[in-house]
């Protein structure tokens, strides 16, 4: 190198810097597993779906769309998704409005009840609805009427409950903020309630509304558990993939249907991400926070409405719990523990397997997403964009598609990682990457609360990446770490869709046991197994609350300091 070139050299090109080496190492440590455990399985599915006897082509898709049965399945999925999305969004908007813009009695309890479906195995809604409205349900038996809930109606009703808390959380966040000045000026101009709602409230929450619509659509169209239990002959994409792969052993058709499911789900996810970014821009400006003043009439209506919704949500969970503890629902309601003697492969062992896998997923998940968030913070804009995309990509991949991808990628002798197949480790990995996007977003949000000045101060004092993270950044985001861990734990306990394809008799999971029990006509035992899962989840949530309370107590007034600009 000439002297002039040396003098002109730019920083960022030092001879060797251990810190940059560490960053590169961490980047590889985050990106390579994302490629291996998300992109590769996806690529395998795509490849198989285009693989025809005459080479790569659209042949399989031509067969798919030419087969009336398959075309019907796509229409079914879209019908269910659109219907359930509309109903859920409207109901959840009303509920979020009652929680954020009214003052009904027992607001906090109502808000907590609305979240119950998040903490139950995904098929629990369908199970509960069948206990009430099914052929052998309480209503049919009590009143001697014959209700046909199986199929379209049942799936929509179950999925409305299943997706409700997600919509409520998004809309609640959108309605929680508002500019008091806008409302005051509208009132002074003499606008009535309906008019204010139409001209102020609705426009101000439009991004939240759009987010909710796309999130609910993705959840419903990718749901597997509820349609399995309550769908009857009404097939949707997620259940048809299972049918093709597990029932008929037709991987290729499974892959085609997987791609057909992947497209709308991915579009919805990326539109939602795009909307969410705009949403943040709206939040940025300065405004007077909204103060909700009591209004007896309005608050009574709000209470009636939210109590109705929470009543329905709680009823479904309750009926499952009760059914698990009686001799034979709904004929013999005397107390009994007989359903807790599980007549399923390995009995209660899958519950312990689930707990172990979920604990491991919690630890691995926290490490993976927090390192990802820390690396993203230090990268240049181009690499940041790339890693960000990779990190949120799993949100766009339906669980059934990911699970099938794992079979295609790892269940073959020529894969050096083939030894993972059939192990508990692959279940842990699958759960971590299935929910990677959500965990990563919580982690980056928490990290963005920590001012960059702390990083820079540490750097100038001679602190490397590892020390800055260990001594400053991570302690400051510790509460978020606990939340992320519990998030991975809970999701891993209740998820069914991705793992259904990769469990083996030796690595059976609890949620799969519920499905098997239901499938063999053992609804009461399925209920009992669900109750066990919910009990474990409840313990985890209580532990989270206790930890956070402890941190708040010890941390004192630390939180506001986090955001030193």
Partner 1 sequence: MFLTLAGIRKRFGAVTALDGVSLAVDEGEFVCFLGPSGCGKTTLLRIIAGLETPDEATITLDGRDLMRVPARLRNFGIVFQSYSLFPNLTVARNIAYGLACRGWDADATRTRVEAMLDLVNLRDYAERRPHQLSGGQQQRVALARALAPQPRVLLLDEPLSALDAKVREDLRTEIKSLQSKLRVTTVMVTHDQHEAMELADRIVVMNRGAIEQVGPPRELYDRPANRFVADFLGRMNAWPDRDGRPVLGVRPEHVELVAAADAADGANGVIRGTIERVVFLGSVTRVVVRAGERPCIVELKGSRLDLAAGQPVALRAPGEALLRLEKPAA
Binding stretches for partner 1 (CB under 8 A):
6-15, 17, 19-20, 451, 453-454, 456-464, 467, 471-472, 475-476, 556-558, 560-562, 564-565
Q: Which is nearer to partner 1, 147 or 474 (CB)?
A: 474
Question: CB of residue 388 vs partner 1: minimum separation in angstroms?
Answer: 20
Phi, psi of 55 (to 5 degrees): 90, -170
**Residues 6+ positions from 435 with CB-CB distance below 8 Å:** 365, 394, 487, 488, 491, 492, 495
SS3 of 55, please?
A: strand
Spatial distance between the Cα atoms of 70 and 241, rounded to a whole number of angstroms:
11
Among candidates 263, 491, 465, which has minimal Cα distance to 361?
A: 491
Q: Which is nearer to partner 1, 7 or 145 (CB)?
A: 7
**If you count DSSP H runs as helices and E runs as strands, how many of each does the chain have, helices first?**
29, 4
Spatial distance between the Cα atoms of 323 and 526, rounded to a whole number of angstroms:
10
CB 337 within 8 A of CB 325: yes
Question: CB of residue 474 vs partner 1: minimum separation in angstroms?
Answer: 10
Q: Which is nearer to partner 1, 405 or 463 (CB)?
A: 463
- Tally Cβ neighbours within 10 Å of residue 304: 11
Q: Which is nearer to partner 1, 1 or 293 (CB)?
A: 1
CA distance from start to end of the chain: 42
Q: Which is nearer to partner 1, 194 or 565 (CB)?
A: 565
Question: CB of residue 451 vs partner 1: minimum separation in angstroms?
Answer: 7
Question: CB of residue 11 vs partner 1: minimum separation in angstroms?
Answer: 5
Among candidates 284, 562, 227, 272, which has minimal Cα distance to 437?
A: 272
Q: Is the dihedral of CA 477, 481, 482, 484 positive or negative?
A: positive
Q: Which is nearer to partner 1, 210 or 480 (CB)?
A: 480
DSSP 397: S
Q: Which is nearer to partner 1, 15 or 335 (CB)?
A: 15
Question: CB of residue 21 vs partner 1: minimum separation in angstroms?
Answer: 11
Structure tokens at 401: 């598609």
**Residues 6+ positions from 210 with CB-CB distance below 8 Å:** 271, 272, 275
SS3 of 328, please?
A: strand
Question: CB of residue 284 vs partner 1: minimum separation in angstroms?
Answer: 19
Please confirm whether the linkage preceding 400 is cis (ω < 30° from 0): no
Q: Which is nearer to partner 1, 20 or 141 (CB)?
A: 20
Q: Which is nearer to partner 1, 7 or 293 (CB)?
A: 7
Q: Which is nearer to partner 1, 297 or 460 (CB)?
A: 460
Element housing 383 (H / E): helix 381-392
E strands in 131-231: none
SS3 of 331, please?
A: coil
Spatial distance between the Cα atoms of 149 and 312, rounded to a whole number of angstroms:
16
Question: CB of residue 453 vs partner 1: minimum separation in angstroms?
Answer: 4
CB 401 within 8 A of CB 224: no
Q: Is the dihedral of CA 23, 24, 29, 32 positive or negative?
A: positive
Residue 8 burial by Cβ neighbours in a 10 Å radius (0-12, 13-18, 19+): exposed
Question: CB of residue 471 vs partner 1: minimum separation in angstroms?
Answer: 7
Question: CB of residue 552 vs partner 1: minimum separation in angstroms?
Answer: 14
Q: At what angle do helices 349-378 and 381-392 cross, to 10 degrees?
A: 160
CA 174 to chain CA centroid, Å, is 19
Question: CB of residue 435 vs partner 1: minimum separation in angstroms?
Answer: 28
Q: Which is nearer to partner 1, 17 or 187 (CB)?
A: 17
Q: Which is nearer to partner 1, 65 or 454 (CB)?
A: 454
Question: CB of residue 472 vs partner 1: minimum separation in angstroms?
Answer: 5
């Amino acid at each position: 190198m000439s002297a002039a070139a040396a003098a002109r050299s730019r920083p960022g090109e030092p001879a060797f810097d251990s810190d940059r080496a560490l960053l590169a190492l961490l980047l590889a440590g985050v990106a390579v597993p994302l490629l291996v455990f998300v992109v590769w399985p996806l690529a395998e599915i795509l490849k198989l779906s285009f693989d025809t006897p005459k080479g790569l082509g659209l042949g399989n898709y031509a067969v798919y769309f030419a087969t009336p049965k398959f075309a019907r399945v796509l229409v079914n999925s879209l019908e269910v998704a659109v219907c359930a999305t509309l109903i859920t969004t409207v109901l959840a908007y009303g509920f979020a409005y009652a929680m954020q813009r009214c003052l009904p009695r027992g607001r906090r309890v109502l808000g907590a009840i609305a979240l119950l479906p998040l903490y139950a195995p995904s098929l629990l809604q369908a199970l509960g609805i069948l206990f009430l409205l099914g052929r052998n349900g309480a209503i049919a038996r009590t009143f001697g009427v014959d209700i046909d809930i199986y199929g379209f109606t049942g799936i929509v009703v179950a999925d409305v409950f299943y997706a409700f808390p997600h919509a409520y959380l998004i809309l609640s966040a959108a309605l929680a903020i508002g500019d008091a000045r806008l409302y005051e000026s509208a009132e002074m101009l003499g606008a009535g309630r309906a008019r204010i709602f139409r001209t102020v409230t609705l426009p101000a929450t439009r991004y939240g509304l759009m987010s909710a619509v796309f999130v609910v659509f993705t959840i419903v169209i990718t749901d597997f558990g509820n349609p399995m239990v309550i769908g009857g002959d009404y097939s949707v994409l997620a259940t048809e993939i299972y049918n093709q792969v597990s029932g008929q052993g037709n991987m290729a058709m499974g892959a085609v249907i997987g791609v057909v499911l992947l497209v709308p789900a991915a579009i919805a996810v990326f539109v939602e991400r795009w909307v969410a970014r705009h949403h943040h821009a709206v939040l940025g400006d300065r405004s007077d926070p909204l103060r909700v003043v009591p209004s007896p009439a309005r608050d009574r209506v709000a209470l009636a409405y939210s109590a109705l919704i929470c009543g329905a949500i709680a009823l479904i969970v309750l009926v499952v719990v009760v059914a698990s503890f009686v001799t034979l629902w709904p004929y013999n309601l005397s107390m009994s523990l007989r359903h807790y003697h599980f007549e399923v492969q390995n009995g209660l062992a899958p519950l312990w397997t689930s707990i172990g896998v979920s604990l491991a997923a919690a630890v691995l998940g926290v490490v993976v997403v927090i390192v990802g968030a820390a690396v993203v913070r230090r990268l240049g804009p181009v690499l940041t964009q790339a890693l960000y995309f990779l990190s949120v990509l799993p949100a766009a991949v339906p669980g059934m598609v990911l699970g099938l991808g794992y079979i295609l990628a790892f269940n073959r002798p020529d894969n050096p990682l083939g030894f993972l197949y059939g192990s508990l480790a692959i279940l842990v990995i699958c759960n971590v990457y299935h929910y990677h996007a959500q965990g990563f977003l919580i982690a980056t949000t928490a990290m963005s609360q920590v001012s960059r000045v702390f990083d820079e101060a540490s750097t100038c004092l001679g602190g490397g990446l590892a020390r800055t993270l260990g001594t400053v950044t991570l302690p400051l985001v510790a509460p978020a770490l606990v939340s992320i861990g519990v998030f991975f734990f809970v999701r891993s306990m209740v998820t069914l869709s991705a793992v259904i394809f990769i469990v083996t008799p030796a690595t059976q999971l609890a949620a799969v046991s519920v499905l098997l029990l239901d499938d063999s006509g053992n609804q009461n035992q399925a209920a009992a197994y669900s109750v066990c899962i919910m009990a474990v989840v409840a313990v985890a949530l209580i532990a989270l609350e206790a930890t956070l309370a402890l941190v708040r107590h010890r941390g004192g007034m630390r939180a506001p300091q986090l955001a030193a600009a």
